[in-house]
Amino acid sequence: MPDFESALDEAMPLAEAAVKAGADILFLPEYCGGLKTQGAAVTPPSAMEAEHPFLAEMQRFARAARVWINLGSIAVDGPDGRIINRGIMLDDTGQIRGRYDKINMFDIQLSETEVYRESAHVEAGCEAVIHDTPFARIGHTICYDLRFPDLWRSLAQAGAEILICPAAFTKKTGEAHWHVLNRARAIENTRFVISPCAIGPVPGGGESYGHSLVINPWGEVIADGGTIPGVVQAQIDLDQVAETEARIPSLANEQEFTLVSVDAKRSVA
């Protein structure tokens, strides 16, 4: 999806199908408004938030369908020619009810030829965000944030009942880590995890892994989108959050500690 038009052409039929199937809230992946790469740089199509065509069309759809929509992230014009990787929560009137700017930038080198430098064009955020919705309190992370458990812990301890991680996870890292990391975040926080992930080749180079997931607080995968674009649907019973936390109250049991580095040579009497 190298441009807004092709992103909308892909997203709108899926959104319509989800609503027809009875969905109350939709979750889209990272850079759902379009994604491409240029060498090591991530260079999605971007626009000012107030003039963003993908956002505007999704606001219209939310209003017409009377459905909440989480835009996992879109590229928004930021300062100094850079962009912001911004997740947006829309209510069922199309109004923006929350924003999350991705904190942790995807700067990695998988091999001599497969290198990504998100920070080359993207301004990092600095605030963790929980969206209050009629359905649940939803903690928002994006893609590479999945590897930073302290962020997830903070969201859960602040009252998030569902933790989301919209992503465009690479195929190579996805095959190795996607399922286990998502399950770990659900288990250690006793929360539902919803992680919509883009699928297929990225214009300019790279490939997204797919396997959009819904995971319950016990760490069980209750929905897996596999490798075919489509709608992944699940029903969530929030009572499972309290039930699981009562069984394993790790959030409440956590103790403060001091880290001490011991010189083995000096500690020998």
| Catalytic, out of 32, 143, 165, 197 | 143
Length of the chain: 269
The secondary structure of residue 30, as a DSSP letter, is T
Residue 143 bears catalytic tag: yes
CA–CA gap between residue 140 and residue 196 (Å, rounded): 12
Asked if residues 71 and 87 have their Cβ atoms less than 8 Å apart, the reply is yes
| Catalytic, out of 102, 123, 161, 197 | 102
Query: Among residues 66, 75, 62, which one has the least CA distance to residue 7?
Result: 75
Sign of the Cα torsion 13, 18, 19, 20 reads positive
Residue 57 bears catalytic tag: no
Q: Across the strands, what pairs with 213?
A: 195, 224
Beta strands, E only, the chain: 25-27, 37-38, 41-42, 68-77, 83-90, 96-101, 107-109, 115-117, 129-132, 137-140, 162-164, 192-195, 199-201, 207-209, 213-215, 221-224
For the chain, first and last CA: distance in Å?
A: 65
Q: Which residues are catalytic?
A: 30, 102, 143
